[in-house]
């Protein structure tokens, strides 16, 4: 399936976006264009927002094919890179509004952790929220989205390509709430 001109333009702008560049201790070193951070294998900051409905189902979405990382993969969290001038919380609110059209709701902060994958190195901040309204996906980033039981999302992640970083965030979140 070809990438639309809108997706291609969005991807080009995204690659130039200035994002937070940090060290292994999550200390800010400055800002770099997203593509440069990725190509040089440097560490950035990212947010993961686990969006649930009041029935406890998790919002899962499929990424567009134009995404630089994990194109076409399923994702268990909204989120993205933290801008150089943003806090984790500001980034989380912005990303949730951009990707899923959800805004004006409280975001509960959870842990921060370091994720190192083949293609990305991130300090991650995990948030959760509850939303029963409609989803308005950003077509340049999200192909489709739906709510499903958490167990179903985890089962499907063993059969289909899922983003490993957000899957790690979900599993860490579940371990944390199961120990409370």
Name the binding residues for Mg(2+). Answer: 95, 99
CB 73 within 8 A of CB 62: yes
**Token digits of residue 2:** 């070809």
Tell me how far CA of residue 165 lies from CA of 1, 32, 79, 117, in angstroms.
25, 21, 11, 8
Which residues touch 122 (CB under 8 Å, ≥6 apart)? 43, 44, 45, 46, 114, 115, 116, 165
Closest CA to 58 of 144, 149, 135, 136: 149
Closest CA to 100 of 144, 34, 66: 144
| Residue numbering of the annotated binding site | 95, 99
Closest CA to 73 of 106, 111, 117: 117
């Amino acid at each position: 399936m070809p990438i639309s001109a809108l997706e291609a333009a969005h991807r080009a702008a995204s690659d130039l976006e200035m994002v937070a560049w940090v060290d292994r201790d999550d200390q800010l070193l400055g800002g770099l264009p997203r593509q440069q951070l990725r190509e040089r294998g440097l560490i950035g900051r990212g947010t993961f927002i686990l969006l649930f409905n009041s029935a406890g189902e998790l919002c899962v979405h499929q990424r567009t094919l134009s995404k630089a990382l994990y194109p076409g993969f399923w994702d268990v969290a909204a989120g993205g890179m933290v801008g150089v001038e943003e806090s984790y919380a500001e980034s989380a609110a912005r990303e949730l509004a951009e990707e899923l059209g959800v805004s004006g709701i409280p975001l509960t902060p959870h842990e921060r952790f370091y994720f190192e994958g083949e293609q990305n190195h991130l300090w991650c901040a995990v948030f959760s929220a509850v939303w029963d309204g409609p989803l308005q996906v950003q077509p340049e980033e999200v192909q489709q989205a739906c709510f499903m039981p958490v167990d179903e999302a985890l089962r499907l992640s063993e059969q289909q390509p899922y983003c490993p970083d957000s899957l790690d965030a979900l599993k860490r979140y579940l371990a944390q709430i199961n120990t409370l």
